[in-house]
Structure 1
Amino acid sequence: MRLPARLRPPDLVRTGGGGPLGCVAVPGLGLSVRGWEPTLARLELPQAAAAVALPAYGVPAAWGSALGPRDTAQRLLDRLDELRAGRTVLLGHSAGCQVVAEAARAAPDRVAALVLVGPTGDPAARPWAALVRRWLRNLPGETPRQVPVLLRDYTYSGMISFARAMDAARRHRLDATLAGLRCPVLLVRGAHDHICPPAFLERLAGRAACPGLVTVPGAAHMAPLTHPQELAAAVRPFLTGTGTGGRATG
């Protein structure tokens, strides 16, 4: 079902100062760019920041289109061209982390650093049953207030697109992608995130060339939606350069 135009989320939100984009965020699978807007607005960076929607990541996907992280990463790079973005920091949430990591692999000269919030791609969660168990364990840490937002976003992106992209994402090895990158990577998880457990984050840190680790107190998997102020505070030092390449815990 196609929603009326007045009910559709935007395919781009932009915050901060003028001039070139300093960082670009990709939402989680099935989520809209509005989920990133409160966090980006609180970063208080001198350069502008934006969140962009991609097929299955905020907008519906064309029937039969390839929705693997590498395919979606190329669409992200094309979108950066449209926005005339230069060398930027890419932020991803959930399966969006796999997309931005693949963009950094494909175009390392265009990506200054990565911020991965609640990354997915854990080989231990590849079976559907394992994914469902992690989602169920994560639910008690989330707030019921986000349910209307999630229903709106998933309805807009489309459950068929969501399922197709999820099937591709669960087969993708984020750890292997990070092993081929040389840029700094900040790895972030909510303290109550059961979709991205601590052991997986530590494993990713071991594969990244310049890793940083940050925990957002009180948050679960949907940190950009539920704890934007805390998330912005956690990643701001990295984005401003004071924490780049460091290994901090919060």
Structure 2
Amino acid sequence: MDGQGGIQPVFSRHFGHGSRQVLAIHCTLAQSGAWRGLAAQLEEEATFTAFDMLGHGRSPDWDGRGDPQDRITEIAESFLTDQMADQMDVIGHSFGATVALRLAVAHPERVRSLTLLEPVYFCFAMQDDPESVAAHDADAAAFTEQLDRGAYGEGARLFNEMWGGAGPSWDEMPEAARAGMIRSIRFVQVCRPPLYDDLAGILEPGQLDRVTMPTLLLRGTESHRVTKAINDAIAGRLPDAQNIVVEGAGHMLPITHPAEVAAHLRALFARAGD
């Protein structure tokens, strides 16, 4: 992490009132409120701390300094290390899951358990199943071409169409929701290098050996094939990982299938202990 310009302040909130402390990191184009449904399933057991990533929700835009994944990781790190609890259960979704994995590598003593919901860490699949990445990139070409030409509204619509799963269609969304996604879609472009080129060196020898805490990887049966390749690649490199598929779910499984995800989290929390 380069630390240029310091840590930008972000908006954060809490859900639930249980004794278990959970740090939750949302996906691209979402915001911290995306965890509301899952947190409600666990409100007696856990307290969720969630923040809006830079360029999302009520947080400011990324200031353009350094690498964006580094900057989001720095922010997440500040929540992990500033909590009164000695350890937190860390949960990440999509891009947020790549940040969660980096936290577990950097601070294994602070992470009681790790949950990765369809992490878009394409560099793992590039090593183990490059054809799945090629298939993803071909399917994503429609929105990446729009982003490259600055058509952010159309790019956001097509991105949501590919990754939004069973959620409301673009035309069904409130205008404010569409505007938020158009604002956030620029992150897809700037985050390609850390996700594809492993700028953080997460695949370097010894890095993943530090992730010894109980880990859960979840994906949906209806998600793009690259999610299976990534989850399988990560799970195969970790010493204590369960790799589970949620039937009927797509990429937005923490929102569309909160009860099923919560059930798997309870089992993980039991494995990890108090």
Task: Tell me how far 1:38 sits from its aligned partner.
Answer: 0.6
Cα distance in structure 1, aligned partners of 2:113 and 2:139: 28
TM-score normalised to structure 1 length: 0.77
Which residue does 1:151 correspond to in 2? Answer: 178
Structure 2 matches for 1:22-101, cutoff 5 A?
22-56=21-55, 58=57, 59-101=59-101
Which residue does 1:129 correspond to in 2? Answer: 137
Change (3 A) 1:121 1:161: closer
Does residue 226 of the first structure (1) align with residue 247 of the second (2)? no
Which residue does 2:154 correspond to in 1? Answer: none
**Partner SS, residue 145 of structure 1:** coil
Cα distance in structure 1, aligned partners of 2:67 and 2:136: 18
Cα distance in structure 2, aligned partners of 1:18 and 1:170: 37
Task: Tell me how far 1:87 sits from its aligned partner.
Answer: 0.6
Match of 1:165 among 191, 208, 219: 191
Cα distance in structure 1, aligned partners of 2:103 and 2:56: 15
The percentage of aligned residue pairs carrying the same residue is 23
Look up the equivalent residue of 1:143 and give its one-letter code.
A
Q: Residues 118 and 196 of structure 1 are in contact (CA less than 8 Å); yes or no, is this contact kept in structure 2?
A: no
Change (3 A) 1:174 1:196: farther
Q: Residues 40 and 50 of structure 1 are in contact (CA less than 8 Å); yes or no, is this contact kept in structure 2?
A: no
Task: Tell me how far 1:116 sits from its aligned partner.
Answer: 0.2
Q: Residues 119 and 196 of structure 1 are in contact (CA less than 8 Å); yes or no, is this contact kept in structure 2?
A: no
TM-score normalised to structure 2 length: 0.71
Per-residue CA deviation, residues 147-174 of structure 1 (Å, 9 max, x unaligned), is 4276254245x33344213443333376
Task: Tell me how far 1:118 sits from its aligned partner.
Answer: 0.9
Instruction: List alignment gaps of at least 5 residues for structure 1.
Output: 1-9, 246-250
Look up the equivalent residue of 1:229 and give its one-letter code.
A
Which residue does 2:114 correspond to in 1? Answer: 114
Change (3 A) 1:131 1:95: farther
Look up the equivalent residue of 1:97 and give its one-letter code.
A
Q: Residues 15 and 43 of structure 2 are in contact (CA less than 8 Å); yes or no, is this contact kept in structure 1?
A: no
